[in-house]
Amino acid sequence: MPRLQTAAELERLRAGIFAGRDRARPCIAVCGGAACDGLDSAAVGAAFAAEIKKQGLEAKVDFRVTGCHGFCNKGPNVVVGPGDICYFEVKPEDVPDVVACALKGEVVDRLVYRHPATGEKAVHMNEVPFYKHQMRVLIGDIPKIDPMRIDDYLAVGGYGALTKALTQMTPDQVLDEVKKANLRGRGGGGFPAGSKWETTKNAPEKTKYVIVNGHEGESAAFMDRAMLTGNPHKVLEGLIIGGYAIGARQGFIYTRHDSPQMAEHITAALEQAEEYGLLGENILGSGFDFKVELHFDVGIFVSGESSALMRSIEGNPPEPRPKYIRTSVSGIWDKPSNLNNVETWANVPEIIGRGADWFTSIGTEKSKGTKLVSLSGHVVNSGVIEVPMGTPLRTIVFDIGGGVPDGKAPKAIHFGGAMGGSIPISMIDAPLDFDGMSKLGAPIGAGGLLVMDEDTDMVEIARYLLDFLVKESCGKCVPCREGMWQMLKILTNIIEGKGRKFDLDRLADLAEVTSLGSLCALGKTSADPLKSMLRYFKAEFETRIAAGSQPQ
Amino acid sequence: MCEQEIDSIIEKYRGKHGALIHALTEIQHENHWLPHEVMQKVADALDVPFSQVMQIASFYKTFSLTPKGRHEVHVCTGMTCHLRGGAKLMGKVEEITGLKPGETDAEAKFTLEAGSCLGSCSIGPELIIDGKHYGRMTPEKAADVLKQYE
């Protein structure tokens, strides 16, 4: 395929893709996301391919293996269009029936959703409780896209925002739009992306970089992987637009080494974008040059921290550095480097395409747009969800999540992995909001939400999280390396019945020093879960200490 | 050891000292561990001090400085798996294999690894062997799964 030279050529190509597709034709999408893959969706996919071949239906049925549909614990997921009929827990032996019904426009009754309590059926995606309370702006296209085919992304309007930015907007206008949208970083900090972009843009060095942080080290967070694996072009489009606005000609995607499928999809996306002329020199005749390199972490949590990540891209050990000077001013090879996480970048094409006013119409006063959340733990329906900012946690846990399994009562909600926090279930009506959740002591972080049931031992969870961080600390600065170790020792003692009278005071002291004295966010926030647990579940700690001091 | 493959990886990065992590990662994937003489070759070819190669190789958990078993057994110790009984699963796998995380048995059959969050939280707790996921694992089922590996 020759490189596209102009925006008009891209639109002609898109029109051709549309013309070649019959929207009335049945389309079967098998989920190949991480959980479905673990439930052997590959066998289901192979069965569909074989069945279509056997019956010679290549011209009558569209079939694709896609990224994560979202409803992970009911996998393998299959969605059949038109009408987005959802089938759950599909096995290879169900395949002939699904194909036969798809051709006839019928539904395989035994595979549709049934409410576990009421038995009520839901056939279409917009009727399934897990999906119907969501607003799937970023992930809604994933079931429609084979991530290995750029044409599928173009068919859902992909790279339209890039065209708009390059042909109708100046870099300053793009930046203004992102600032006006008040897009806040989805990686954990909630820092306004527009201000960060502006800092890099205005930094005196001529060479600048833009980076996708796809490290996603936060435990129980898996939405960025779903996004990047399922629709890599959307993230890439955001990155290219960001490069244009900021004045960077080089981008980096930094992601996990342990997800081969994700690496394959990103690599293919980069190759195809380059082939089409959406990367490389003089993109769509605009005079803007941009290329992207893919880098992998090598298995350590702290490499998701911005300065550590940049050291890693340079080929050095990922040790964070003090941020007296921000990485947006001096990052990779001391050049201004703007880093945003996967979800933040994925929002950019939406903001440019639909406008900042549309974006700010969603969400709360200070948290705009939608938020991806990985919903897991003690919850009936688990998976990747997307809801407007401001959605009450109750909607997420009960309406979407279906509550706690096995008839147990929920006890706590944990956000933000090992550097997040837990709040008691009595706060379930709190809205999903960066600032509100931080005030409660459970900052959203990247968006990993865990439901904990009544049997959960909070002291043990606090210990578990610290144990995780102790192993992940890079060891460069003393407060983090030693402070966490001491806190872990005290918590371990409490659990082993060797708790002492002033342990909680000592923990509070250590938590404060570690937070104040550590170099990077890992140490600074390492005690956050513990602090939240001491705030809301202190009695559990006291009971454990008291029990330990008595003769057994 | 597949010397030819390793040499071709090293050749690809000759002179590029910024590519140290890339080179080591590829060798690790190919060979499953980093022998001393291979790291020396990398140091020479990429023109970086051996101490720097060691710094990277010993810092990142992905790199192994000792040979690994034929099968990599991975128990997810991420938060969801933990809440759903990951620790018990790990205990059972430790008992069956006689290994602690990071260890390899004398016959080089299994290497046991603890790993945090591989993103299939919805089907946790998880056991992953040579990249194949076994979701919703119980200590009882783990014994049957491990038996399949020779």
Burial letters for A76-86: b for 16+ Cβ neighbours within 10 Å, e otherwise? Answer: bbbbbbeebbb
Per the CB < 8 A criterion, the answer to whether A456 and B83 are in contact is yes
Which domain range does residue A376 map to?
Answer: 370-453
Contact between chains at A300 and B117 (C-beta distance less than 8 A): no
| A315·B21 Cβ contact <8 A | yes
How far, in Å, CA of A226 to CA of A232, rounded?
A: 9
β-partners of residue A424 are A412
| Chain A residues inside the 8 Å CB shell of B18 | 314-315
Start and end residues for every CATH 1.10.10 domain found in chain B: 3-59
Judged by CB atoms closer than 8 Å, whether chains meet at B79 and A450 is answered as yes
* pLDDT at residue B30, as a whole number: 87
A401 touches chain B (CB under 8 A): no
Q: In which residue ranges of chain B is CATH 3.40.30.10 found? A: 71-147
pLDDT value of position A550 = 57
A-chain residues near B79 (CB < 8 A)? 219-220, 377, 414, 417-418, 448, 450, 464-465
In the listed set A67, A98, A128, which residue is the last one of a domain according to the structure?
A128
Q: How many residues does chain A have?
A: 552
Complex-level ipTM:
0.86
Describe chain B by its helix, strand, coil percentages, rounded to 5.
Answer: 50, 15, 35
Which of B117, B133, B135 lies at the smallest CB-CB distance from A219? B117
Burial class, A117, CB count within 10 angstroms (exposed 0-12 / middle 13-18 / buried 19+): exposed
The partner residue sitting opposite A299, judged by closest CB among B61, B78, B122, is B61
Q: Out of 3.40.50, 1.10.10, 1.10.3470, 1.10.12, select the CATH number for domain B3-59.
A: 1.10.10
Residue A472, token pair as written in the block: 């992940």
Q: How many domains does chain A have?
A: 4
Segments of chain A scoring below 50 in pLDDT: 551-552
Q: Which residue of B has its CA nearest to A467?
A: B77
Structure tokens that stand for A423 in this block = 């709040």
Say yes or no for a CB contact (<8 Å) between A222 and B119: yes
Length of chain B: 150
Same domain, A431 and A488: no
Indicate if the alpha-carbon torsion angle A240, A246, A248, A253 is positive or negative. negative
Asked whether the beta carbons of residue B25 and residue A257 sit closer than 8 angstroms, the reply is yes
* pLDDT tens-digit series, residues B42-88: 999 999 999 999 988 988 878 899 888 889 999 998 899 999 999 99
* Chain A residues with CB-CB distance to B116 below 8 A: 217, 219, 301, 468
Selected residues 377-396 of chain A with any CB under 8 Å from a CB in chain B: 377-378, 382-383
Q: Which residues of A touch B61 (CB under 8 A)?
A: 298-300
DSSP helix/strand/coil, B9: helix
- CATH, range B71-147: 3.40.30.10
Residues A203 and A302 placed together within one structural domain of the fold: yes
Number of helices and strands in chain B (H, E): 7, 4
Q: Looking at CA atoms only, how far is residue A402 from chain B in angstroms? A: 14
Task: Classify residue A323: in a domain, yes or no.
Answer: yes
Last residue of a domain, one of A360, A389, A413: A360
Give the strand pairing for A448-453 and A410-415. antiparallel
Subunit contact A39:B79, Cβ cutoff 8 A: no
**A460-475 per-residue burial string, b: 16 or more CB within 10 A, e: under 16:** bbbbbbbbbbbebbbe
| CA R_g for chain A | 24
Of B25, B78, B133, Cβ closest to residue A296: B25
Q: Is B60 on the interface with A (CB under 8 A)?
A: yes
Selection from A92, A449, A41, A448 nearest residue A261 by Cα:
A41
Mean pLDDT of the residues in chain A: 93
User: What pLDDT, on the 0 to 100 scale, is given for residue A543?
Assistant: 93
Contact A342, A224 (CB under 8 A): yes
Give tens-digit pLDDT for B128-144.
998 888 999 999 999 99
Closest Cβ opposite residue B121 in set A37, A39, A376:
A376
CB neighbours of A288 closer than 8 A, spacing ≥ 6? A166, A243, A244, A282
Residues 243-282 of A with CB under 8 A from B: 257-260
> Does A9 reside within a domain?
no
Residues of A in contact with B145 (CB under 8 A): none
